Amino acid sequence: MNRLSVRLVLSHLLVALLGALATFVIVRQLAPALFDETLRRAQAGGPRGPGQGMGQSTGLREQFATAVDQALLIGALVGAGVAAIFGILAAWRLIRPLGRLRTATHRIADGHYDTAVAVPKEAELADLANDVNSLGRTLAETEARRLRLLGEVAHEMRTPLTVIDGYVEGMIDNVLPTDTASLGQVGEESRRLRRLADDLSALSRAEEGRLQLAPARVDVRQVVASAAERLRPQVHDAGLSLSVDCGPVALTVDADADRLSQVVTNLVGNAIRATPVDGSVSVTCAARGSWVEIAVADTGEGLAAEDLNRVFERFYRVRGRTSIATDSGTGIGLTISRGIIRAHGGELTAASAGLGNGAVFTARIPVAGA
């Protein structure tokens, strides 16, 4: 009784039987009365002997009722049979696409994400088939990202591990001296691995929406200016100029100051690596309606139109960028930064006039109480 096909057939039978029963009751009650009325009118038009009309009327009435009962019984049985046939056909037409959907979901569960379901004509089943196909595509993309992430992490770890292994073997074989410089290089690569591990942990929390925030009422100007000024020595060492302008009016938001500082540090650090000597980096913050915007602009290599969204993908490297060889970053700073801004209810976007024309990264977060 729990199978859908059986329930569909029984529902058709029940409808047919209820219709037959209603027809039987109505006809059984009305037909004799209508017959008596018709016979009474016929007999009123001609002569008849005593008791003759009454006896004939009763006999005809009983014969008529029996004939009606038999006809209704036959009709009910034929109707129930026809209803059963149509119920079986309807159940088959419904169960067949559901069976295909069931087979497809089993294949998707087994890892065959390219499995596609034929879309039936029925609107409801078509919506369900489209949802299953969409689920398969989404799972395929997720699996591809997972495999790509594993390869990217292995690639990012390979370089510092190779350097550490080379220095250690050189010192063991007395090819390299065990001095401050050599040990310092090993320590630098170890710290790079540590940064990669910390960034991967932050990336995981950001993408899963598990970033731990400690929001408080803060003035964005102080957070942004403090984070940018800490990087001023690096800006000068790179032969660049840095300008910070957050205006005279307080920009109050409910945010985690340390996380916002992390975003500004990532954005300014990326701007330093993307800008050649004699270039400039500018940091501004201002109110825009119910939003506070933090913008980091540079006069560096710029971004092509197809890279404006992809730069936020983990480990993505802009093609043809000259600073990649000397880039010490882990390649996921922008991904983490966007996750932090989104956790605050805002958005981080990139804009550029094209290659060689610099880029602007803008973080928007709601003002306090908005």
The sign of the torsion formed by the CA atoms of 45, 47, 50, 52 equals negative
Q: Rounded to two decimals, what is the model's pTM?
A: 0.55
CATH of domain 216-366: 3.30.565.10
pLDDT level of residue 176 (50, 70, 90 thresholds): confident
Task: Determine the Cα–Cα distance for residues 243 and 232; give it in Å rounded to an integer.
Answer: 9
Q: What is the mean pLDDT of residues 143-158?
A: 76
Residues in the chain: 370
Burial of 147 (C-beta count, 10 Å sphere; 0-12/13-18/19+): exposed
Task: Determine the Cα–Cα distance for residues 117 and 104; give it in Å rounded to an integer.
Answer: 7
pLDDT above 90 as % of the chain = 21
Q: What pLDDT score was predicted for residue 240?
A: 93
The sign of the torsion formed by the CA atoms of 3, 6, 8, 11 equals negative
Q: What is the architecture, at CATH level 2, of domain 124-207?
A: Orthogonal Bundle (1.10)
For 3-22, how does the pLDDT look when each residue is reduced to its tens digit (9 = 90+)? 656 666 667 677 777 677 76
Would you say 357 and 308 are in contact if contact means Cβ atoms under 8 Å apart? Answer: no
Q: 70-78, long-range: CB within 8 Å, 24+ apart, which pairs?
A: 72/20, 72/23, 72/24, 72/27, 72/28, 75/20, 75/23, 76/16, 76/17, 76/20, 76/21, 76/23, 76/24
Q: 328-334, long-range: CB within 8 Å, 24+ apart, which pairs?
A: 328/192, 329/269, 329/270, 329/273, 330/156, 330/195, 330/196, 330/199, 330/200, 331/152, 331/156, 332/199, 332/200, 332/203, 333/199, 333/266, 333/269, 333/270, 334/266, 334/267, 334/270, 334/361
pLDDT level of residue 324 (50, 70, 90 thresholds): very low
Q: In this structure, what token pair is assigned to residue 229?
A: 């000024």
Q: What is the mean pLDDT of residues 287-312?
A: 89
Spatial neighbors of 367 by CB under 8 A, at least 6 apart, are 251, 252, 253, 287, 290, 291, 292
Q: In this structure, what token pair is assigned to residue 334?
A: 């922008």
Question: Where are the domain boundaries for CATH 1.10.287.130 in the chain?
Answer: 124-207
Q: What pLDDT score was predicted for residue 332?
A: 77
What residue has token string 């139109």?
305
pLDDT level of residue 43 (50, 70, 90 thresholds): low
Q: What pLDDT score was predicted for residue 152?
A: 72
H-run or E-run covering 175:
none
Q: How many CB atoms lie within 10 A of CB 326?
A: 7
Question: Where are the domain boundaries for CATH 3.30.565.10 in the chain?
Answer: 216-366
Q: What pLDDT score was predicted for residue 366?
A: 93
